[in-house]
């Protein structure tokens, strides 16, 4: 920071006032939480309205499939909406749709989890990022498969102007969400908030099981629980619970907060007081325990499967109690994260497994082959198996997570 001289002259003062005015105006303009959105959303974002569909109960298909199993595909780090002003970006989105379509057709899962960084929000020159979010969920919706999504750090990062826009070729044409909006608010460079993205997904999709967490967990939004029920069991004795958490990033720090941990403790004690129901947990950014697990496993590669050394673990900024709670629950079988595009390992940690998904999208950094982690849940006796299905159809890193 430059320091102002002691001697204050009139031009200097005006300069300071002008600069301050510009800074303040900028803050007002770029903060997506400001303005009318907060009020509108505040009024409608009631916990009950935003509880997941059907009380968050998912049922085994059974029937024609015969076998008593439930299969989940994890799509991680799709990064839709890169460089919309060039040919490259839209082509990556088409490629990502192809990856998802191929894997959905090979595996025919019962459910899909969008594990964050669905879009690259800091690369979207439109107000309505739901336009891209919608493209990302379309392969799943087109096949009539239900899904749930959670947020990654890139899903709400503010839009950044690329440096080459300041070159002689100038600023590209502004993209608007619809032709009528030209020149209006929806053509601005303002981002779309977490609340707006999630509200849009839920309002327009009857297959979406995505839930809003209670308001006291904001700014973290995607905190909710889904229950898997088999034909042999009912909602009072479910097969498995799936917890979804928002690990932050973008417009606020990359953490799972103390209040989120407390919410998890309350929820799990209420839904599974004696820890008799197996549980798994999803969020986007690996916790610091992933770093330790990788370090410990590295020399021996003990019991780990998958790609471990392509990248360093990029962990959350702090640990605020979530891992401690999970370690204390014997029912927690595994945690699944994305974020590191070059890693897809599973390693044992305490009494559970720490797992990465597999980078699914063509957007975002890195050129590692694309694929998806698949989970297979079997009832009576309970088992949880997982593997990676690649875009070219090959399968690897099969592992049993329920032991």
Ligand X SMILES: *[C@@H]1O[C@H](CO)[C@@H](O)[C@H](O)[C@H]1NC(C)=O
Instruction: Name the site residues for ligand X (rule: CB under 6 A).
Output: 128, 130-131, 134, 177, 186, 200, 204, 216, 259, 262-263, 266, 369, 390, 392, 394
> How many residues make up the chain in this entry?
403
- Would you say 216 or 235 has its CB closer to ligand X? 216
- Would you say 151 or 263 has its CB closer to ligand X? 263
- Would you say 235 or 266 has its CB closer to ligand X? 266
Minimum CB separation of residue 368 from ligand X in Å reads 8
Residue with tokens 């970006």: 89
* Positive/negative CA dihedral, 33, 207, 354, 305: negative
Minimum CB separation of residue 379 from ligand X in Å reads 30
- Would you say 59 or 141 has its CB closer to ligand X? 141
- Would you say 60 or 244 has its CB closer to ligand X? 244
One-letter-per-residue 3-state SS of the chain: CCCCCCCCCHHHHHHHHHHHHHHHHHHHHHCCCCCHHHHHHHHHCCCCCCCCHHHHEEECCCHHHCCCEEEEEEEECCCECCCCCCCHHHHHHHHHHHHHHHHHHHHCCCEEEECCCCECHHHCCCCCCHHHHHHHHHHHHHCCCCEEECCCHHHCCCCCCCHHHHCCCCCCCCCCCCHHHCCCHHHCCCCCCHHHHHHHHHHHCCCECCCCCCHHHCCCCCCEEEEEECCCCCCCCCCEEEEECCCCCCCCCCCCCHHHHHHHHHHHHHHCCCCCCCEEEECCCCCHHHHHHHHHHCCCCCCCECCCCCCCCCCCCCCCCHHHHHHCCCCEEEEEECCCCCCCCEEEECCEEEEECCECCCCCCCCCCCEEEEEEEECCCCEEEEEEEECCCCEEEEEECCC
113 strand-pairing partners: 74, 148
Going by C-alpha positions, the residue among 182, 181, 185 that lies closest to residue 196 is 185
Minimum CB separation of residue 179 from ligand X in Å reads 12
Minimum CB separation of residue 106 from ligand X in Å reads 13
- Would you say 264 or 349 has its CB closer to ligand X? 264
Minimum CB separation of residue 4 from ligand X in Å reads 44
Minimum CB separation of residue 168 from ligand X in Å reads 33
Rounded CA separation 279/243 (Å):
8
Residue nearest ligand X (C-beta atom): 369
- Would you say 220 or 230 has its CB closer to ligand X? 220
Minimum CB separation of residue 238 from ligand X in Å reads 21
- Would you say 58 or 121 has its CB closer to ligand X? 121
- Pairing type for strands 69-75 and 224-229 reads unpaired
Minimum CB separation of residue 268 from ligand X in Å reads 11
- Would you say 186 or 296 has its CB closer to ligand X? 186
Rounded CA separation 285/316 (Å):
6
Minimum CB separation of residue 392 from ligand X in Å reads 4
- Would you say 119 or 315 has its CB closer to ligand X? 119
Minimum CB separation of residue 265 from ligand X in Å reads 7
């Amino acid at each position: 920071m430059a320091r102002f001289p002691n001697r204050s002259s009139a031009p200097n003062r005006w300069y300071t006032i002008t600069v301050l005015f510009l800074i303040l105006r900028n803050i007002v303009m770029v903060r997506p939480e400001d303005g009318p959105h907060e009020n509108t959303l505040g009024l409608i974002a009631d916990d009950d309205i935003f509880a997941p569909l059907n009380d968050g109960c998912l049922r085994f298909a059974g029937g024609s499939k015969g076998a008593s199993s439930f299969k989940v595909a994890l799509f991680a780090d799709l990064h839709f909406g890169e460089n919309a002003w060039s040919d490259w970006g839209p082509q990556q989105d088409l490629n990502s749709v192809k990856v998802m379509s191929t894997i959905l057709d090979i595996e025919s899962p019962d459910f899909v989890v969008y594990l964050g960084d669905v879009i690259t929000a800091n690369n979207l020159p439109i107000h309505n990022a739901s336009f891209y979010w919608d493209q990302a969920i379309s392969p799943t919706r087109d096949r009539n498969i239900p899904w749930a999504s959670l947020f990654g750090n890139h899903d709400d990062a503010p839009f950044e102007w690329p440096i080459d826009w300041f070159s002689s070729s100038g600023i590209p044409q502004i993209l608007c969400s619809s032709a009528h909006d030209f020149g209006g608010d929806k053509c601005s460079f303002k981002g779309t908030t977490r609340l707006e993205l999630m509200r849009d997904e839920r309002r327009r999709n009857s297959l979406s099981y995505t839930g809003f967490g209670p308001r006291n967990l904001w700014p973290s939004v995607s905190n909710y629980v889904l229950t898997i029920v088999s034909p042999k069991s009912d909602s009072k004795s479910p097969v498995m619970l799936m917890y979804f958490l928002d690990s932050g990033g973008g417009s606020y720090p990359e953490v799972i907060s103390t209040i989120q941990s407390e919410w998890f403790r309350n929820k799990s004690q209420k839904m599974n007081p004696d820890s008799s129901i197996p549980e798994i947990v999803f969020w986007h950014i690996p916790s610091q325990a992933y770093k330790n697990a990788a370090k410990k496993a590295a020399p021996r590669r003990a019991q780990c499967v998958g790609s471990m050394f392509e990248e360093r673990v990029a962990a959350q900024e702090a640990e605020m109690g979530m891992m401690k709670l999970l370690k204390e629950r014997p029912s927690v079988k595994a945690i699944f994260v994305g974020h590191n595009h070059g890693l897809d390992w599973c390693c044992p940690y305490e009494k559970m497994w720490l797992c990465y998904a597999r980078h699914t999208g063509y957007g975002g950094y890195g050129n590692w082959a694309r694929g998806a982690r698949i989970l297979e849940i079997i009832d009576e006796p309970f088992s949880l198996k997982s593997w990676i299905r690649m875009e070219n159809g090959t399968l690897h890193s099969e592992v049993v997570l329920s032991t």
